[in-house]
Amino acid sequence: MESQDIRKAGLKVTLPRLKVLEILEASEYRHMSAEEVYKELLVRNEDVGLATVYRVLTQFEQAQLVSRHHFEEGHSVFELNQGDHHDHIVCVDCGRVEEFFDETIEQRQDDIAHGLGFKVSSHSLYLYGSCTKENCEYREK
Amino acid sequence: MESQDIRKAGLKVTLPRLKVLEILEASEYRHMSAEEVYKELLVRNEDVGLATVYRVLTQFEQAQLVSRHHFEEGHSVFELNQGDHHDHIVCVDCGRVEEFFDETIEQRQDDIAHGLGFKVSSHSLYLYGSCTKENCEYREK
DNA sequence: GTATATGCAAAACTTTTGCATCCTT
DNA sequence: AAGGATGCAAAAGTTTTGCATATAC
């Protein structure tokens, strides 16, 4: 299924790479740190080292299979790309991450960058706040 | 001058704190990592440890004297607060940082967050691209 | 068979912390 | 004088790298 994507990126289709993709796909939160991916591999009894997780995630990022985000937490979190660009809102209490896309914001960003003489290559917009969901509580790492 | 602000924050007015403020004020780039602040202290022959730089910057952040940003680089960068909120556009080639504020974007952000049931506490918007300035070149750390 | 990928351990980098000493108030 | 602040060194957390072995093609 996704092994085509790995091959297209010029990478060999290996077990660690398949497993990492699988875990990102199955993730309830859709946004995982390298450590979280590694822990999930341990739970599944897969023999993959943390260094490999970092290498694979970095390669996937370069191949644009995943996106790397820098939320306020201080470490990178990764998300499987599904073709669509979107921005993020992160609950500071429970860690929940929701996505959104707003054409108006996108448009304004381009106009502003252009006005300042920049050629934009990427951008990141993160909103932080409290989601008001019933099951909101601090999420264990 | 600024020593009032330090006192108001409930902190003693010490040489390290004054020096850090001074350096942030004088910074050409206005956005410095802890390491860059520390190196500037060394240049100026001030006897301040790196651990103190981190402690002071964190305290200043809590006192809202400075803002901490997480650009793509991976480490924190700090900026002196001057009262106004603004967003950032970072040149991926030379590291130049420019600031902007857009009421439309701010408004859309609030509306979106509200629509998703979030109470927003903060946000960060970073645009990345190439500034097209003549003196644009990779900036040494 | 060959080149690439992996696991492990060690290293690099950023940030925090413990503790004895020093400085501000 | 007393409590907070600092420097240094050590530790903690995240990410990268070297190298011998294993795996995909």
* DSSP assignment string, B83-111: S---EEEEETTT--EEEE--HHHHHHHHH
- Confidence class for position A137, pLDDT limits 50, 70, 90: low
Q: What is the CA radius of gyration of chain A?
A: 17
- Confidence class for position B138, pLDDT limits 50, 70, 90: low
A123 CB below 7 A from strand D atoms: no
- Confidence class for position A58, pLDDT limits 50, 70, 90: very high
- B75: distance to nearest CA of chain A, Å? 8
Enumerate the nucleotides of strand C whose atoms come under 7 Å of any protein CB.
4-10, 13-18, 23-25
Q: Which pLDDT score, from 0 to 100, does residue B137 have?
A: 67
For residue A1, give the 3-state DSSP assignment: coil
Mean pLDDT, chain A, rounded, equals 91
List A127's β-bridge partners, or say none.
Answer: A89, B123
* Chain A CB within 8 Å of residue B101 CB: no
**Dist CA A59 CA A98 (whole Å):** 25
| β-pair type (A118-131, B118-131) | antiparallel
Tell which wins on pLDDT, A35 or B28: A35
**For chain A, what percent of residues have pLDDT higher than 90?**
74
Q: How many CB pairs under 8 A join A and B?
A: 116
Which range (A24-28, B50-54, B65-69) has the least confidence? Answer: A24-28
The predicted-structure confidence for B81-108, as pLDDT tens digits, reads as follows 988 899 999 998 888 889 999 999 999 9
Taking residues B50-61, what's their average pLDDT? 98
Residue A70's φ and ψ, nearest 5 degrees, are -120, 90
Taking residues A131-139, what's their average pLDDT? 72
A58 closest CA partner among A72, A44, A37, A40: A37
